[in-house]
A and B are shown apart, each in its own frame.
Chain A
Amino acid sequence: MKIIKKISTAMAMVATIGLLTTASADKLDNIIKKNVLNCGVVLDFPPMGYFDKNNKAAGFDVDYCNDLAKALGVKSNVLNLTWADRIPSLVSGKTDVVIGSTSDTLERAKSAGFTYPYFVFKFQVISKKGAPIKTFDDLKNVKVGAALGTTYESEYLAYAKAKGWGKSNYTSFKSENDAYLGLYQGKVDAIISTNTNIATKLQTKEFKDYIAGPFVPNYDDVVGIITKRSEVAFINYLNLFLVHQIRDGKLEAAYQKHFGTSAPESLIKSLRDNK
């Protein structure tokens, strides 16, 4: 009888420990357990995320996804998201993280859990050579466009409102791609985009007659990785991951691959300053 009692107590203890560990298994554990990282990226945004000429996912964000999966020791599963699907995909569990150039506004932080920044964009104007755009304020005299619902659209509109320009010279496009097509066709004289996207477009022959123009004043677009707001432990891990990306040279490697130059000191400093 005593033996049975001992065995059952032991079993009960094991069961409780088992329960305790499962009860506190969080997203980090889950990812490791299922051996795959579902990583959401927006593939409408070169060079951070886009489809290469074989129609496969590629880009800076995609590389970070793969780096993260490698660090966790699991397989990487990159999922293409629309801009609007970033949060819903996290809430439903379709994705574990979204590395989708998500600006870390406080408004959004009410709905999603942000890590420290992993990239900083500057919003910039791109227009045809010879367009009369020397300073940002010159935009009030030309037709301007940007992608619907982006942070730079709202920054431009807020700036225009503060200066009393009105909206009549402004056109929205449903995506970055459409905005560039619109610029190429001449629907607008200038569009506001990110300096990274502009830099890659300027290297193509379609946009060889275009130049990068003034920056949106006083605004750096700081983006972070997002995951479920409640997964605090995982966010901690992601933050450390980002520190290692810089320290271990992964940021430099990805930057070289997608931008063709070394990661600028100002970028690294911004990332460190914004912690």
Chain B
Amino acid sequence: MSLFTPLSWGDTGFIFQGILNTIYISVVAIVIGSILGLIIGFFRAESGKFGNMLIGGVLDILRSVPLIIQLVLFTTFMGVAGFPLDPFVAGSIVLSLYTMAFMSEVFRAGFESVHDSMVTAARSLGMTYWQTVRYIRTPIGLRAVLPSWIGVALSVIKDSALVSVIGYMELLRTSEQLISRTQQPLEILIGVGIFYFIISYPLSLYGKRLERKMAL
């Protein structure tokens, strides 16, 4: 019985599944995290001190505990409470909340960057509160923070690798399994690194270009 078999073409299917899982969970976390972050960011930009402190406290916890610990803790807790979650579900929830914590800061800065004079001008034109939000504050605020949003989205893609600790077979975990079967860490790791780089680098270049354009 051979325990160690070298990397073969048959493994590409396995690796490809890992790539798909990485993309899948990243997209879910980015979408949910952005939506929640938008709502909370708006809420924080608008509310007074008390509301801010409360939400701020919760978000703070999400940003001050390592993602690995959050993942294991959440999975174990749900398990003990009687609702065991499959790694994808648990991982998406934790990753989305983690993303939301950072996205809310991005969006809050966006909303706060819209100068009050714009809002006043809009009100004087007869717009209601929600109309100013919809037509003035959101478009202007969000455009300004698009580069930061891209930055957070890219780090979510990289952090998705951590969901492997609760057993989600994303790319890095898939590669780990192959490494222990083939005992060839270098080749596999380099391949994996190239993949992440190919996804991340073009997007980060785009983000930088946007930033430069907006700074003018």
Contacts and interface: CB of A to CB of B under 8 A. Distances in A.
B3 A46 contact: yes
A80 B167 contact: yes
Contacts of B14: 55
A51 B80 contact: no
A91 B79 contact: yes
A180 B180 contact: yes
A203 B1 contact: yes
B180 A88 contact: no
Contacts of A91: 79-80
Nearest to B8: A53
B89 to A, nearest CB: 13
Chain A contact patch, size range: 20 to 34
B179 interface: yes
A6 B149 CA distance: 74
Interface string A168-212: 000000010110110011000000000000001101111000000
B117 interface: no
Contacts of A206: 4, 183
Most chain A C-beta atoms within 10 Å of own C-beta, residue among B79, B165, B185: B79
B5 A88 contact: no
B78 interface: yes
A149 interface: no
Contacts of A84: 72, 76
A92 B180 contact: no
A46 B177 CA distance: 13
Chain B contact patch, size range: 20 to 34
A185 B14 CA distance: 25
Main secondary structure of the interface of B (DSSP, over half): helix
A2 B165 CA distance: 67
B84 interface: yes
Interface string A34-64: 0000000000001100110101000000000
B81 interface: yes
A231 interface: no
A94 B2 contact: no
A191 to B, nearest CB: 14
A103 interface: no
A92 B167 contact: no
A67 to B, nearest CB: 20
A88 B167 CA distance: 14
Contact of A181 (B79, B165, B179): B179
A261 to B, nearest CB: 13
A51 B176 CA distance: 13
A108 to B, nearest CB: 16
Contact of A89 (B2, B84, B183): B84
B66 interface: no
Nearest to A175: B180
B193 interface: no
Interface in A82-137: 82, 84-85, 88-89, 91-94
Nearest to A53: B5
A204 B78 contact: no
B181 A204 contact: no
A51 B181 contact: yes
B50 interface: no
B150 to A, nearest CB: 33
B48 interface: no
Contacts of A94: 79, 84
B9 interface: no
Contacts of A88: 75-76, 79-80, 84
A84 B76 CA distance: 9
A92 B77 CA distance: 9
Contacts of A82: 165-167
Given A91-B79, A92-B79, A181-B185, A204 B72 contact: no
Q: Which 9 A-B pairs have the closest CB atoms?
A: A177-B180, A92-B79, A94-B84, A88-B79, A92-B84, A88-B76, A91-B80, A206-B4, A204-B4
Given A50-B3, A88-B79, A92-B81, 17 more contacts: A53-B2, A53-B5, A55-B177, A82-B166, A84-B76, A85-B75, A85-B79, A88-B75, A88-B80, A92-B79, A92-B82, A178-B180, A181-B179, A185-B185, A200-B3, A201-B3, A203-B1
11 contacts: A53-B5, A85-B79, A88-B75, A92-B83, A93-B82, A181-B179, A181-B185, A201-B3, A204-B2, A204-B3, A205-B4
